[in-house]
């Protein structure tokens, strides 16, 4: 969660969303969840690239280009709150196990259970089979 908060800040986001948690998990290749992601070719930069592609793809669908230069703004000093998509991912992770037993693999499974939204769209654009990855996460 701490890493997810860091990712949200880097992203200039006021909230921690599921895709920030996914970035944080991908950054920890030593943990089971990070290893499962790296097996489908998703290290942190791979997840970032997939998310950027989803962002541009979705904007293009509405006839908007994100190609213009956006001057950097100052970071938000306040810690980001938990966003709706991260809340759902956590709830889905907690349904499987008791709260104190949740590890990164459970959290990844919680994120991967989302059928709609930014993360499943980014995974599809990256050519990752979400259902298959979810199954591997649950048997890991």
Partner 1 sequence: MSAEETLAPADGLAAVAALRRLADRLEDSAVERALRAGWSRPQVAEALAVTRQAIHKKHAGRLAAAGVQPRRR
* Interface contacts to partner 1, rule CB under 8 A: 12-14, 54-55, 58-59, 61-64, 66, 70-78, 116-118, 121
- Name the residue nearer to partner 1 (CB basis): 63 or 127: 63
- What is the largest distance, in Å, between two alpha-carbon atoms of the chain? 46
Q: How far is the CB of 136 from partner 1 (least distance, A)?
A: 25
Nearer to partner 1, 94 or 117 (CB): 117
Contacts by residues 9-13 (CB-CB < 8 Å, ≥ 24 positions apart): 9/75, 9/76, 9/80, 12/73, 12/75, 12/76, 13/80, 13/83
- Which residue do the tokens 């997840």 mark? 47
CB of 92 to partner 1, least distance (A): 19
């Amino acid at each position: 969660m701490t890493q997810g908060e860091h990712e949200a800040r880097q992203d200039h986001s006021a909230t921690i969303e599921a895709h920030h948690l996914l970035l944080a998990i991908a950054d920890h290749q030593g943990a089971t969840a990070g290893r499962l992601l790296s097996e489908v070719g998703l290290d942190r930069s791979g997840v970032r690239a997939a998310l950027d592609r989803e962002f541009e793809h979705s904007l293009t669908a509405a006839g908007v280009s994100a190609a213009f230069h956006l001057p950097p703004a100052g970071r938000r000093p306040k810690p980001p709150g938990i966003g709706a998509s991260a809340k759902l991912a956590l709830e889905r992770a907690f349904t499987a196990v008791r709260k104190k037993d949740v590890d990164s693999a459970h959290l990844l499974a919680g994120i991967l259970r989302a059928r709609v939204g930014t993360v499943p769209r980014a995974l599809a654009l990256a050519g990752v089979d979400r259902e298959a990855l979810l199954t591997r996460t649950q048997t890991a």
